[in-house]
Amino acid sequence: MPALPLLAPAPIAVQASFDELGSPLRETVFVVVDLETTGGSPQSCEITEIGAVKVCGGEVLGEFQTLVNPGAAIPPFIAVLTGITDSMVARSPRLDTALPAFLEFSRGAVLVAHNAPFDLGFLKAGCERLGLAWPSPDTVDTARLARRVLTRDEAPNCKLSTLARLFRATTTPTHRALADARATVDVLHGLIARLGGLGVHSLDELRTFSAQVSPQQRRKRHLADGLPALPGVYLFRDRTGRVLYVGKSTNLRGRVRQYFTASEQRTRMAEMVGLAEQVDPVVCSTPLEAEVRELRLIAEHSPRYNRRSKRPDKALWVKLTVEAFPRLSAVRAVLDDGALYLGPFPSARTADLVIAAVHEALPLRQCTKRLSPRRPSGACVLAELRRCGAPCLGAEEGESVEAYAAHALAYRDAVTQDPSAVVSALTSRIAALAADERFEDAAAHRDRLTAFVRAVARLQRLSSLTSVPELVAARPTPDLGWEVSVVRSGRLVAAGTIPRGAHPAPYVDALLATAETVLPGPGPLPCATAEEVECVLRWLELPGTRLVRLDGTWSSPAFGAGGRRQLLDAAQQARGSASPFDDSRGLRPVARPARSFG
C-alpha cells in the first residue's frame, strides 16, 4: 500500500501519572449505595433505608441517608438484624419522596454496591412502581470484583464484613445502610489498589474485569507497552508474522491494552489474542488517514479475525453491456469498455433484486445470447408475455436497434440522473398488487425497488467525489490547528496537520507535492474502494470541514445539486482572496516559514 505522507511531525503525547484508557478512575465519581429492606424480593418487599456515599479520587464528596416508610410492618427478624423498627420509620418519608432524592444525589455517577444485583433490583423495581425512568448508570459490584481479585488464602469468603476486615475499613458494617456504604467505600478503594497492579486504571477496565480473559491472555499485555498513545492502525500478528487482525484507534496503546483486560467481550477476539505474539503500530497524522489505512490493510492481508472489508474485489456490479441490444449482467470486474456499471453490491441476492426491479420497469432483454441486428433469431416466452420488445426477431417483427436503444438510454438516465422512470413503474405495480390483496408479491416488488433506489443513490453519492480530479479540504482540530486531506478521484492520497497559528499555504503546497500519484481506472470507482470513498465523504460532510483547493470540473449532477453546489461555487469565487482557514475564532494565517518534514 503506498504510504500517505505526513504533513507535519506527529504531536508529542504527554504521559500522565499512569497509562490512561477511557475514563481514568481518579476522575470518576462513584456513588456507593446500600439498602436495607423488609425482605429479599424486590417484587414483594420494600426499602426501609437508603445510605450512599459519593467519592471521587479517594475523597468523600457527600453522603446521603434516609429511613423509608415501607407502608407495612417490618418482619421481626429483619428488625432484629438491622435494628430498624416500625416506630423508627413511622414518620419517615415514603419511597415516592426518598427515591427521587437519591436519584438526584447519584445523577451522572457510577453506582457501586456490594452484591449490586440485590440493591439495584430494589431501586429499579421502585422506579417502575413510581413511574420513574431508571437512568441506567454504569455499575460496579465489589463482591464480584473481590471474587476475581482475591484468593481463598486472603479471604475465605467475599462477605462485606470479611472484606472490611481485610482492607482495614474505618467503618464496621452493621446492617445499617450508611455504615455499610462507608465500609464498601474502603473495600472499593482496596480493590482498585489491587487491580492497579493488573493494569486496570480506567472505568472501562474496571467494569469489564471478568473471567472471560484468562491469566495467560492477560499476561500478554506487555505487547502494548511499546505502542504510542497516538492515532493510527494496529496489526496483531501470530508467531509466523501472519496478520490476524487489523484495527484503528485514536490512542493505539490504550486501545490495544483493552484486548488484554477484558474490555473486548467478543469471543473471537479472545481467541485471536491467544494466538497473537506481536502488535505492529502504524501511526497516522489524522483520524481519517487511520480509517482509510485500516480499510486498505484489511483488503491487503484479509485477516482471519476481521469480518468486514476483507475482499472488496469480490463485490458484484450490474453492467449494461455494450452491444447492439444491451442487457443487464452481474459481473465482478469493471472493465474499460464504455459500459455503465451500477454497484458495488455485497451479495448476488442484492444484485439480482436490482436487475429484477429494472426488468419490471423497462423492457430490456433478459436472454443471455448474443444478438445481431442482421441475423434475426427465434423469440422466447418473454416476448409473448410482452416483457421484452423481442429485438431478436429483427426490425420487421420486433424492435429495431434505434427503438431498443431508447430502453437502454432510459436505464442510463435512471442510474446517472433521475430514477423516476423505474420508481414510478414499480410504485404503480406495488399499488396494484396491494389493491388485489397480493401482499406477498407487493412486498417482493417493494424489496426490489428499495434495492434499486439505494444502489442508485449510493452510486451517485460516490460519483460526486470520484469525478473530482483533485480537492484539498481541512477541518479544525481540538488544539486549534488543522487537519488537511488531499483527495484525488475519491482516493485519499495525502493527510497531515497544520500547527496552530502557522501559515497554511506552505503546508498545503508541500502536501500536494508529496501526495500519492494516482492513475484513474475504469468505472465509477477509478482509484479507491466504495468504503474508502464513503469514509472521505463522511469526513467532508462533518461540520467545520472547509474546501481549500479545487481543480478540475464537476461532472456529476448529483454533486452539483443544492447547497453543495453553492458551497463549491462560493469556494471557487473566493479562491485567491480570503483564506478558507479564516474563522470566527480569530485564527488567521501568520507569515511563518513551513516546517521541514519527512
Cell 462477605 maps to which residue? Answer: 159
pLDDT, tens digit, 9 for 90 and up, residues 188-242: 999 998 888 776 788 877 766 644 556 666 677 788 888 898 899 999 999 999 9
In the chain, helix, strand, coil percent, each to 5?
Answer: 40, 15, 45
CA end-to-end span of the chain, whole Å?
A: 18
Q: How far apart are CA 242 and CA 234, in angstroms?
A: 13
pLDDT, tens digit, 9 for 90 and up, residues 68-112: 999 999 999 999 999 999 999 999 999 999 999 999 999 999 999
Instruction: Return the CATH architecture of domain 25-200.
Output: 2-Layer Sandwich (3.30)
pLDDT, tens digit, 9 for 90 and up, residues 373-414: 556 565 565 665 566 655 655 544 456 667 778 888 999 999
φ, ψ of residue 181 in degrees (nearest 5)? -65, -40
Task: Calculate the alpha carbon distances from 294 to 289, 303, 344, 515 in Å.
Answer: 8, 11, 20, 19
| Reported pTM | 0.61
Per-residue pLDDT at 587: 34
Report which of 324, 590, 348 is spatially closest to residue 482, judged by C-alpha positions: 590
Q: How far apart are CA 91 and CA 530, in angstroms?
A: 68
In the predicted model, is pLDDT for residue 127 greater than 90? yes
Q: Which residue has the higher pLDDT, 584 or 560?
A: 584
Per-residue pLDDT at 553: 35
Q: How far apart are CA 31 and CA 20, in angstroms?
A: 22
Per-residue pLDDT at 169: 93
Mark whether 407 is an active-site residue. no
Alpha helices in 37-176 (DSSP H): 76-82, 86-89, 95-105, 116-130, 142-149, 160-166
Q: How far apart are CA 499 and CA 502, in angstroms?
A: 6
Cell 479517594 maps to which residue? Answer: 58
In the predicted model, is pLDDT for residue 11 greater than 60? no
Per-residue pLDDT at 532: 94
Q: Which residue has the higher pLDDT, 452 or 395?
A: 452
Q: What is the CATH number of domain 210-310?
A: 3.40.1440.10
pLDDT, tens digit, 9 for 90 and up, residues 414-430: 999 999 989 999 999 99
Mean pLDDT across the chain = 82
Per-residue pLDDT at 207: 65
Task: Calculate the alpha carbon distances from 460 to 156, 421, 530, 534, 557 in Å.
Answer: 67, 16, 12, 12, 8
In the predicted model, is pLDDT for residue 552 greater than 50? no
Per-residue pLDDT at 556: 35
In the predicted model, is pLDDT for residue 14 greater than 50? no
pLDDT, tens digit, 9 for 90 and up, residues 273-313: 888 899 999 999 999 999 999 999 999 999 988 887 777 77
Q: What is the DSSP letter of 594?
A: P
In the predicted model, is pLDDT for residue 591 greater than 90? no
Per-residue pLDDT at 19: 42
pLDDT, tens digit, 9 for 90 and up, residues 469-491: 999 999 998 888 899 999 999 99
Catalytic residue chosen out of the listed positions 114, 175, 301, 445: 175
Residue 274: enclosing H or E segment and its boundaries?
helix 267-275
Dihedral over Cα of 234, 238, 242, 244: its sign: negative
Residue type, 334: V
Q: How far apart are CA 277 and CA 49, in angstroms?
A: 52
Per-residue pLDDT at 399: 60
Domain map (residue ranges) of the chain: 25-200, 210-310, 324-464, 467-574
Per-residue pLDDT at 574: 45
What is the band of 353 on the pLDDT scale with cuts at 50, 70, 90? very high
Per-residue pLDDT at 130: 93
| Residue % of the chain over a pLDDT of 70 | 79
**The three cell numbers locating residue 132:** 420513574
What is the band of 453 on the pLDDT scale with cuts at 50, 70, 90? very high
In the predicted model, is pLDDT for residue 513 greater than 50? yes
Q: Which residue has the higher pLDDT, 211 or 244?
A: 244
